[in-house]
Amino acid sequence: MARRWVVRAPVPLHDKSRIVEVESSEYASLYAGGHSINPLTTPTTYPGKATYFVPAGEAGEFEVDGLCGGCSKCAAPKDSFVRIISTKNIASWRLDASSPEHDVLLDPDKDMRTTFTIIATGGASGDPSFRLEGDQGYIRDTVYGYVPSRMTFWRRPSRRTVATIKAYTSIEGPCPSEQPCQPPPEAKLAITSVVTEEIEPVK
């Protein structure tokens, strides 16, 4: 894997949703609450300023990064930067969705994967959040699949067993002010399918 340099600016945890304005030498990615957050506004040129919506209770960090060059020590260019220049408290709207309970038949001789397809549209700040409840003892990993899905990979049990799980997802976006508001009409969220299938053995 190619080496990369990274410059970061932390986003502290806060009990209120915020509009955060950043200035950076190039496009700044924001990761908070375990998912990426898209900018509300971006500059036409860099260096420039952009704004992001950060939901309440989420901490994270802005990142500016790039590929390292040659065999020398990898360090960020001297003119690369990202910094927070202002924050403003704001209300937010939220949509939640869940799947029906799903039974996964686990076999000691098979590698299994469960795919959750998520439809999310309209005004959300970033990728939908995702969590599972239920029998999670045999879960090996849950990762992003082909957008917009999540994939859960299962460990092989010592004997055939059934794991019952349920998925939950949510999206959130900014209101015009600190006054509560309803989601915009175009905002939709649903888990449209849950499919478990056998896959090639995991090395």
Q: In the prediction, which pLDDT does 29 show?
A: 92
Rounded CA separation 114/196 (Å): 4
User: pTM of the entire structure?
Assistant: 0.80
155-185 confidence digits (pLDDT tens): 999 999 999 999 999 989 999 888 999 999 9
Is pLDDT at 125 greater than 90 in this prediction? no
Average pLDDT for the chain: 90
Query: 120, 123, 153, 119: which is closest to 138 by C-alpha?
Result: 153
Rounded CA separation 48/46 (Å): 5
Q: In the prediction, which pLDDT does 70 show?
A: 65
